[in-house]
């Protein structure tokens, strides 16, 4: 049973929020920045809702000081942001752009001056377009270029940043970008998706080595996985097999090589009709399995699967966007089902128990690694009231229920050291454009004015006290 609601979080627990560069920065042509795959993708007709793009986003590039001051007023003691690869190393190759690095130096200094611990994510999906033109993540060279970029950022910020994350949600980069095509670069090639997954793993390993070569001692290096909670529709052997196969594609394809130095044999067998995996070279798995200090877990909703034989034919209900092409190579005989329960504006079922399940799984599979919830949050149709205030009780209930499961996991022995709410503020939500609001801070997209929602004030109280206030506390 969960611990009583009055139980406090550990005193050193990090109460943070998270964002990513392309979703908030804007200023896509300033300081020598060159296009990323998301610049290209979002300007292609029909790729994003309403044709939205991140050219301006919420203009964090110019408003970062005000945004950091807002974080401080909300009592956050940690902030996870991503560095834009094409802002720091235009075209993905060559020397660093000092104007780009200087922006992140200023941002880090501003955070530290307000007592907020920065956590740097090196890759949150904005691959330089020139590297995609050369083949993108399905090509080995991209992993090599990523390691060089990681070293440049490590040299620039390593004296001030303690927490480092190589990749955010490599599953999305590989399987939504190169499999279903609902994310940039919009390719629909199952074999390329698996090659991309391997080279993202390799990029992580090489970048980890590069960071260790330049960072001071006692810096924390992690990766953030959107490891998924996969549940079978029934205990029928065919449904159990379907769940295991999807678990291999959602989780094992990354945590296998990252944590154990091998891809699951069942994954290799199930995808043998798609690829022979000959792109895995001798020494790759050793390079990938680098010692880590922490593991980031991103969680939103569980998945429910069965054998296609046990399900009527219909749209694929995996929560990852509509596409005629599957992000699950070699799994056309697996059906996805809507899980029961209330849903967010994304159509994702609200199930906090999945977060507890995920934490405890990795507490067992990665003993000795500190765990962080590096993303968790919900989109709702938030609107200001006549007085300009934004009340979002649904989000408060969502956050309270999920944080209670984090505390439950800590009580059961999991070494969870922080929680990063997704997201600090409303922003460009990838293919959904500006139509889905995940922020604790409301952004008026015409004026770019920021207004903390009720959930921001609730979360500030939780951060200040280390306890979970009642839902109606604000």
Choosing from 25, 169, 394, 429, which is the catalytic residue? 169
The angle formed by the CA atoms of residues 354, 357 and 358, to the nearest 5 degrees, is 85
DSSP string, 397-458: HHHHHHHHHHHHHHHTT--EEEEEEE-SB----GGGTTS-B--SEEE-TTT--EEE-HHHHH
Q: Is 15 helix (H, G, I), strand (E, B) or coil?
A: strand
User: What token pair was written down for 385?
Assistant: 């009231």
Task: Starting at the earlier edge strand, list the strands of the sheet with 303-307.
Answer: 230-232, 303-307, 334-337
d(CA 146, CA 70): 32
d(CA 41, CA 103): 25
Whether 155 sits among the annotated catalytic residues: the reply is: no
Dihedral angle computed from the Cα positions of residues 243, 248, 249 and 254, in that order, rounded to the nearest 10 degrees: 150
d(CA 27, CA 33): 8
DSSP string, 451-470: EE-HHHHHHHHHHHHSS---
Q: Which residues contact 323 (CB under 8 A, 6 or more apart)?
A: 180, 181, 182, 188
Place of tokens 């052997």: 237
- Helix 60-73, helix 98-113: angle, nearest 10: 10
**Strand partners of residue 464:** none
Q: Is 22 helix (H, G, I), strand (E, B) or coil?
A: helix
Choosing from 25, 110, 132, 375, which is the catalytic residue? 375
Contact 282, 338 (CB under 8 A): no
The DSSP secondary-structure symbol of 310 reads G
Strands 294-298, 303-307: parallel, antiparallel or unpaired by DSSP? unpaired
Question: In terms of Cα–Cα distance, which of 442, 434, 438 is closest to 57?
Answer: 434
CA distances from 234 to 57, 119, 205, 239, 411 (A): 43, 40, 37, 6, 30
| Other Cβ atoms within 10 Å of 212 Cβ, number | 15
The residues carrying an active-site annotation are 169, 375
């Amino acid at each position: 049973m969960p611990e009583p609601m009055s139980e406090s979080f550990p005193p050193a627990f990090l109460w943070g929020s998270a964002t990513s560069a392309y979703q908030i920065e804007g200023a896509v042509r300033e300081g020598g920045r060159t296009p990323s795959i998301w610049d290209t993708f979002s300007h292609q007709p029909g790729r994003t809702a309403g044709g939205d793009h991140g050219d301006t986003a919420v203009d964090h590039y110019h408003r970062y000081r005000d945004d950091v001051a807002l974080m401080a007023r909300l009592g956050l003691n940690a902030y996870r942001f991503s560095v834009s690869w094409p802002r720091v190393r235009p075209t993905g190759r060559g020397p660093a752009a000092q104007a780009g690095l200087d922006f992140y130096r200023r941002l880090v200094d501003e955070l530290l001056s307000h007592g907020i611990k920065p956590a740097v994510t090196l890759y949150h999906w904005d691959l330089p377009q020139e590297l995609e033109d050369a083949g993108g993540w399905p090509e080995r060279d991209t992993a090599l270029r990523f390691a060089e970029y990681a070293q440049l950022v490590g040299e620039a910020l390593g004296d001030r940043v303690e927490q480092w994350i190589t990749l955010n949600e490599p599953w999305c980069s590989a399987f939504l970008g190169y499999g279903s095509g609902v994310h940039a670069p919009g390719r629909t090639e199952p074999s390329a998706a698996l090659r991309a997954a391997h080279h993202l793993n390799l990029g992580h390993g090489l970048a980890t080595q590069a960071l260790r070569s330049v960072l001071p001692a006692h810096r924390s290096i992690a990766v953030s996985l959107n490891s998924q909670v996969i549940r079978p529709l029934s205990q029928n052997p065919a449904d159990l097999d379907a769940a295991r196969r999807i678990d291999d594609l959602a989780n094992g394809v990354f945590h296998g090589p990252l944590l154990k130095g091998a891809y699951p044999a069942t994954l290799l067998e199930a995808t043998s009709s798609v690829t022979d995996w000959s792109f895995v070279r001798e020494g790759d798995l050793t390079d990938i399995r680098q010692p880590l200090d922490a593991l980031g877990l991103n969680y939103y909703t569980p998945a429910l699967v069965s054998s296609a034989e046990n399900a009527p034919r219909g749209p694929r209900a995996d929560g990852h966007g509509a596409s005629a092409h599957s992000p699950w190579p070699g799994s056309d005989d697996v059906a996805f089902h809507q899980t029961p329960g209330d849903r967010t504006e994304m159509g994702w079922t609200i199930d906090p128990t999945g977060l507890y399940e995920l934490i405890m799984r990795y507490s067992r599979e990665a003993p000795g690694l500190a765990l962080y919830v590096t993303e968790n949050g919900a989109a709702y149709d938030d609107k200001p009231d006549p007085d300009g205030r934004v009340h979002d009780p649904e989000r408060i209930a969502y956050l309270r229920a999920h944080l209670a499961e984090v505390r439950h996991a800590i009580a059961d022995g999991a070494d969870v050291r922080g929680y990063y709410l997704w997201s600090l503020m409303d922003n460009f939500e990838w293919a959904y454009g500006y139509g889905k609001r995940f922020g604790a801070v409301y952004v008026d997209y015409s004026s770019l004015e920021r207004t903390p929602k009720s959930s921001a004030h609730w979360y500030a109280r939780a951060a200040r006290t280390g306890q979970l206030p009642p839902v109606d506390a604000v």
